[in-house]
Amino acid sequence: MEIKTLLKANIKSKKGSFISTMILTFLIITIAAAVLGVRNNMFDAVDEANDSLGVGDANVYIADQFFDEKMKESLESCSALSHFSVQDTVTNYGRSYFGDNEYNNSIFFTKADDSFWLYNNTLDGYEESVRPLENGQIYLPLGLKGNMDIGDEVKVEFIDKKRTYKIAGFICEPMMGAEFIGWKRVFISDDDYDSLRAELAPYETDKYTSFIKLVRIFKADSEQTDLLFQRDVNKQTGIVTKSVGSSLRAEFVNYTTLFANIITGVMLGFVLLLFVIVLVVIGHGIKTEIDTDYTNLGILKAQGFTNKALALVIALRYILAQDIATVIGVVVSYPVERYLSKIFMSNTAILPKRSAAFLEVGALVIVLLSLSMLIIFLMTRRLASISPISAISGGKGDVYFSNALTVPISGKALMPTIALRSITSDIRRYVGLILITAMLAFFVVTANILNSSLNSRSSLEALGNILTDVYISGLSEETFGKLDEIEAEVEKHCEIEKRYYYSHYYVSIDGVQILCIADMYPEDSVSLLKGRLAKYDNEIIITELAAEQLGLKIGDEVTVSGKRKENRYIITGIFQIMNDAGVAIEMPFNAAQKIGLQNVSVLAWSINDKEGAKQAAAALNEKYSGELSAEYVDVDEMLDNDTIMLSLKAMRIMVYVFSTVFALVSVIMVCSKAFSQERRDIGIYKALGFTPLRLRLQFSVRYFFVSLAGSAIGIVLGKLFSLKVLGAIFRLCGVSRINETSSVFPYIIAVAFICGCVAVFSFIVSRKVKKIEVRELIAE
């Protein structure tokens, strides 16, 4: 009963601390539960779709002419696989138009089968069954939706046969449906497909249209890894070597979930950091509470309350606040999870599951509350130091102590020097806030680095993306012969900054299919991490992930097989690229010629002159009409409108909003405690003639200095660890390394934001100065 009475009184007198603890815990539980829910539901949905819709463990794209009876027989007799399925497709490259937009990647047109689910009209569920398509209709994967709607038209040019399809619905297609995957599978009616094949049959395939078979192959031994399985199948059948490409199920899953995985990983990291802040705030709160309530606690002790009983009252208050916040947080996390899932669904193109992550959230809650309990237990041990006698006879002495860091008070800079003196005379009191601001600054720096790393042209290029201003793809051998002439035409209109003349194609290393980039100007496009670029025709470079998977290192010699030839190459360096989940090799064009590559298929230029680039593209289209199609790309506009960039912006906003709320609540808690401790000093300053405004500014300046110190630590931590943390998250998602931005803005913005928040919030909190009366100092 006595504990209950004390607890009630304690909550009443510490309302601010109680509510603040609730808010902080609520935010953490809400984000954590929502993010865990998103990840669970996303991965479950992706796995279910892959299992139910027959995605092969290895999936090979092979031209019709290579998939002959012999190949079929070798597959049938292959001991590594349990079964396989074959799907005919007409593959179109770069001549499909969605509204006004041309799609610059391969699209596999095929008959509607049972390898997809049809979304309902509101895109929040699947239809019970797939409606058969009528002639002229098409099903598109959700990742192709963009601004398109049901009923909109898709125009395609197959060789010279133009077709127009009306969108009949959007589908969940787990192989290539995700936004992040360039290749896409679309479905048309059986009649449309058959008539298309019949019409195209007399023609030779060209660089835009080809007949590809999609072969889905399933493991005999489910324990075998996808990569080894593919290698074994290839060793026995040669199907991968003869293919135009192959994908593992793991790669589809990785690509589909790549973005959501990175973002939710960052968010979970953020939650962990916020939780550490909560622990610091709780620890600081208990310490200060014991200091300020010294007399009351001493009186209670004098009346027979034990340390345990007093600790229990404090612990129960925090636990009650956290428990209430946890319940509310778990409930609120559900709509938040639905909202986040919806955002990521536009990226994964797979409807997330709707189950709550009870187990994970439960485990998380137990861990978080246990850690809180531990901190409460450790901090309440200070209660043992309270002596009833000293408490009753006037409490503790001055909180201040003399130390070596004494800053002289200057008449010319009275406010900042008094503020600094307050800090240096009891620096221990500010350790909590310094830690909190350090962690907030660290996280804001990390979020800024992530944002600037993924939201600028140079950084995206550093990650291995190629962003070009003028772009020609599908280059024929004949047009490639005019390369010097084409380049001269571009230079008539603008200065070329960088040249990207390359082909992406698949080769195999020791039977393992891998993306190969044959490059004429690797120095302009390759993001080298270690070693040196491949210069000679017997050299290659490899990504870190590929080197790891294949057990290779710089200096090793490997056999690389093209479709017709193979050759030995020495690995000279490690590079990174975002394609193929970061698993690839790169070689100079003359090295690629040794294994059969005739010409590069892409010519692109980076040009620092928008108008000139536009003119160059127009001039090329005019001069080489019918031979090539040059496209001007407004990279800045593309980055602005990119859904991933928009999601990143949203994430950064979220980080800032949460950091602001945390800074606010932490500052309120810390400053309120400081107020209780400093009432007397504030009264004295008022009696000396300090105005409330001056005292508030002094208070604000003091906390600004504290946050500056914390932010400085946060920046050092950011400099040391932000890239490592992001690198670890990216690495889990298949990107070898995230490059450091050379800009100081991520750091400056973080400091300005955190210090600004603390200064403003402490000024707001200090409005209580007005309520402190000088007469409180006068002893009756």
Q: Are the CB atoms for 577 and 517 separated by under 8 Å?
A: yes
Residues in binding contact with another protein, number by CB under 8 A: 36
Alpha-carbon gap, residue 184 to 457, rounded angstroms: 26
What is the residue whose two structure tokens read 């589908």? 171
Nearer to another protein, 92 or 698 (CB): 698
Residues 675-714 that bind another protein (CB under 8 A): 680-681, 683-693
Nearest of 226, 200, 220, 227 to residue 212 by alpha carbon: 200
Nearer to another protein, 370 or 410 (CB): 410
Nearer to another protein, 367 or 774 (CB): 774
Smallest gap from Cβ 692 to another protein, in A, equals: 6
Residues 412-441 that bind another protein (CB under 8 A): 412, 414, 418, 421-422, 425-426
Smallest gap from Cβ 773 to another protein, in A, equals: 7
One symbol per residue from 273 to 302: x for binding another protein (CB under 8 A), - otherwise; what is it? ------------------------------
Nearer to another protein, 422 or 606 (CB): 422
Taking CB under 8 A as the binding criterion, the range among 42-50, 161-169, 206-214, 771-779 that sits at the site for another protein is 771-779
Taking CB under 8 A as the binding criterion, the range among 89-97, 253-261, 449-457, 770-778 that sits at the site for another protein is 770-778
* H-type alpha helices, 90-181: none
Residue among 553, 649, 770, 771 that touches another protein (CB under 8 A) = 770
Nearer to another protein, 359 or 693 (CB): 693
- Radius of gyration (C-alpha) of the chain in whole angstroms: 33
Catalogue the E-assigned strands of 510-647: 512-519, 527-531, 539-543, 557-561, 566-576, 584-588, 602-607, 630-632
Alpha-carbon gap, residue 254 to 252, rounded angstroms: 5
Taking CB under 8 A as the binding criterion, the range among 365-373, 540-548, 752-760, 767-775 that sits at the site for another protein is 767-775
Residues 395-414 that bind another protein (CB under 8 A): 397-400, 402, 409-412, 414
622: DSSP letter: H
Nearer to another protein, 206 or 773 (CB): 773
Burial class of residue 691, CB neighbours in 10 A (0-12, 13-18, 19+): exposed
Smallest gap from Cβ 419 to another protein, in A, equals: 11
Asked if 767 interacts with another protein (CB under 8 A), we say: no
Alpha-carbon gap, residue 490 to 416, rounded angstroms: 60
Burial class of residue 151, CB neighbours in 10 A (0-12, 13-18, 19+): exposed
Quick one: residue 449, left, alpha or beta (phi over 0 = left, psi -120 to 50 = alpha)?
A: alpha
Map residue 411 onto helix, strand or coil.
Answer: coil
Alpha-carbon gap, residue 594 to 591, rounded angstroms: 5
Nearer to another protein, 85 or 677 (CB): 677
Nearer to another protein, 502 or 690 (CB): 690
Find all residues with CB under 8 Å of 181, minimum gap 6, and list them.
143, 252, 255, 256
Nearest of 489, 520, 539 to residue 599 by alpha carbon: 520
Smallest gap from Cβ 331 to another protein, in A, equals: 45
Nearer to another protein, 87 or 677 (CB): 677
Alpha-carbon gap, residue 777 to 780, rounded angstroms: 9
Smallest gap from Cβ 681 to another protein, in A, equals: 6
Nearer to another protein, 413 or 752 (CB): 413
Nearer to another protein, 622 or 773 (CB): 773
Smallest gap from Cβ 676 to another protein, in A, equals: 15
Smallest gap from Cβ 400 to another protein, in A, equals: 4
Q: Are the CB atoms for 59 and 215 separated by under 8 Å?
A: yes
Asked if 268 interacts with another protein (CB under 8 A), we say: no
Asked if 771 interacts with another protein (CB under 8 A), we say: no
Dihedral, CA atoms, 606, 609, 614, 616, nearest 10 degrees? -70
Asked if 202 interacts with another protein (CB under 8 A), we say: no
Asked if 745 interacts with another protein (CB under 8 A), we say: no
Q: Are the CB atoms for 337 and 37 separated by under 8 Å?
A: yes
Alpha-carbon gap, residue 237 to 732, rounded angstroms: 32
Nearer to another protein, 100 or 780 (CB): 780
Asked if 359 interacts with another protein (CB under 8 A), we say: no
Taking CB under 8 A as the binding criterion, the range among 257-265, 392-400, 545-553, 633-641 that sits at the site for another protein is 392-400
Smallest gap from Cβ 642 to another protein, in A, equals: 54
Find all residues with CB under 8 Å of 339, minimum gap 6, and list them.
none
Token pair, residue 193, equals 């497909």
Amino acid identity of residue 706, one-letter, is: V
Nearer to another protein, 692 or 756 (CB): 692
Find all residues with CB under 8 Å of 271, minimum gap 6, and list them.
28, 31, 32, 35
Token pair, residue 583, equals 């698993």
Q: Are the CB atoms for 380 and 315 separated by under 8 Å?
A: yes
Smallest gap from Cβ 673 to another protein, in A, equals: 17
Smallest gap from Cβ 779 to another protein, in A, equals: 5
Smallest gap from Cβ 745 to another protein, in A, equals: 37
Smallest gap from Cβ 770 to another protein, in A, equals: 8
Q: Are the CB atoms for 628 and 620 separated by under 8 Å?
A: yes
Nearer to another protein, 443 or 703 (CB): 703
Q: Are the CB atoms for 91 and 214 separated by under 8 Å?
A: no
Alpha-carbon gap, residue 309 to 772, rounded angstroms: 33
297: DSSP letter: H
Nearer to another protein, 343 or 407 (CB): 407
Nearest of 24, 668, 18, 38 to residue 368 by alpha carbon: 24
Smallest gap from Cβ 691 to another protein, in A, equals: 4
Q: Which residues bind another protein (CB under 8 A)?
A: 397-400, 402, 409-412, 414, 418, 421-422, 425-426, 680-681, 683-693, 770, 773-775, 777-780
